[in-house]
Structures are given as structure tokens and as C-alpha cells.
Structure 1
């Protein structure tokens, strides 16, 4: 019988747990960007053409957890979306950092 992932994680060193969590975060980012692109009806080739880059570069971009804001903004603009960045203060209030 398969063990729950939390039980398996407890058997790993803290370093290995951190590596797994980072890779899981990368996968979630890739899934979100690719899902958004597909939901809006775009192919990687279409995004690449609009960004003046090659399709494999878009594939790599979608898998990265650490993307430059300018690149993410451009990617989202191709999809017809805007990037909004907010800071949440300790009191729960939010401040826009993108001037929107």
C-alpha cells in the first residue's frame, strides 16, 4: 500500500525536503503559466512569435520558477493579460507596486 507523501517526506533530510519543495514549486509555476496560455487559446509557437523568441524558449520560460518581471509582463501581454504586483502590509492592507 502506498504511503502518504507527508510520511515519505518525513524520512528525508531537510536538505532533500527543500530540494523537493523547490522542484514542486517550479512544476506548479509551469502548470499555471501553461494552463493560462492554453485556456486563452494560445500555442507556445504563437507566444514565441509575438515575443520574438523561439518556441523552446517559451517552453523553458513556462517551467521556470524565477522569471524576470519584464519577461513575465511581456508573456502576459501577449496573452492579453496585465501583470499586477501588490505588497500586503502587516495590517492586511495592500499597496500596488505597478501603479495600476
Structure 2
């Protein structure tokens, strides 16, 4: 039988676990940003203007998915 997530985490280096948790949080926040923007019926440009940042920053923030390079030290 396979190992549980808890077993895998327990065997991993603390810094790897910490990075994975941070990445998971970032991904969830980015997904929520895109959902909120869409529910507000705002474009990325409008959202960026409201936040005082540039549109490409919104695009990067909304882009979700794992970033394997974050695991390399």
C-alpha cells in the first residue's frame, strides 16, 4: 500500500516542506485573485489600476501552477 501524505511530509526536509506549503498558499491566493476579479467583472488592467500596480503583475499573480525551481536551493 502507498504511503500517506503525512508519512511523506514527515520524511522530507523541513525546508522542502516549508517551500511546498508556501507555494500551495501562493497558488490558492492567485486562483482566488482571478476568481474575485472575474466576479467583479473587472479586467486585469482595471484591477491593476485599482491596486496601483501594472497589468503584467496581475497576469503573473493569476498564473497558477507549480514552480519546480522553487524547490532548488
Same fold (TM > 0.5): yes
List alignment gaps of at least 5 residues for structure 2.
Answer: 64-73
Question: Which is higher, the Rg of structure 1 or of structure 2?
Answer: 1
What RMSD over aligned residues (CA atoms) do the two structures have, in Å? Answer: 2.8
Structure 1 runs of 4+ aligned residues shifted over 6 Å read: none
Separation in 2, partners of 1:38, 1:44: 9
Bigger RCO (CA 8 Å, 6+ sep): 2
Aligned residue for 2:43? 43
Higher strand proportion (structure 1 or 2)? 1
Tell me which protein shows more helix as a share of its residues.
2
User: Scaled by the length of structure 2, what TM-score is found?
Assistant: 0.58
How far has the Cα of 1:60 moved from its partner?
2.9
